[in-house]
């Protein structure tokens, strides 16, 4: 499991898992808001931007997922496994 990214303004915590999913949980209750599946384990911490959550996967891609509903936005192929934490500037 990767380290979490916490967004206090929305009460959401985001984290990746070895099962290949990016999870969004309610910060107070722990209830799952959504999950997004990738093709490999998620090792690096997710990065939260104004409208997306970015996460790298062992499947060799960097994913952008919509914060509001966990739907796929875009992905970029890396060179090998993506294990680091993305850096973004809004």
The verdict on residue 53 lying in a domain is yes
Indicate whether 41 belongs to any domain. yes
How much is the pLDDT for 1? 64
Using CB atoms within 10 A of its CB, is residue 74 exposed (0-12), middle (13-18) or buried (19+)? exposed
Structural domain total, the chain: 1
> What digits encode the pLDDT tens for the residues 34-56?
999 999 999 999 999 999 999 99
Here the CATH number for the domain that contains residue 26 is 2.40.10.480
Q: Is residue 89, in this structure, part of any structural domain at all? A: no
In a domain, 83, yes or no: no
Does 84 reside within a domain? no
Structural domain boundaries enclosing 33: 5-77
Stated pTM of the model: 0.94
**Tens of pLDDT, residues 72-83:** 999 999 889 999
Confirm whether 85 is domain-assigned. no
């Amino acid at each position: 499991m990767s380290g979490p990214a916490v967004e206090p303004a929305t009460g959401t915590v985001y984290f990746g898992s070895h099962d290949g999913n990016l999870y969004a949980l309610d910060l107070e209750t722990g209830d799952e808001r959504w999950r997004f599946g990738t093709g490999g384990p998620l090792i690096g911490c997710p990065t939260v931007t104004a409208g997306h959550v970015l996460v790298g996967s062992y499947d060799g891609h960097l994913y952008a997922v919509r914060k509001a509903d966990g739907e796929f936005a875009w992905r970029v192929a890396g060179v090998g496994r993506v294990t680091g934490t993305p850096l973004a500037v809004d």
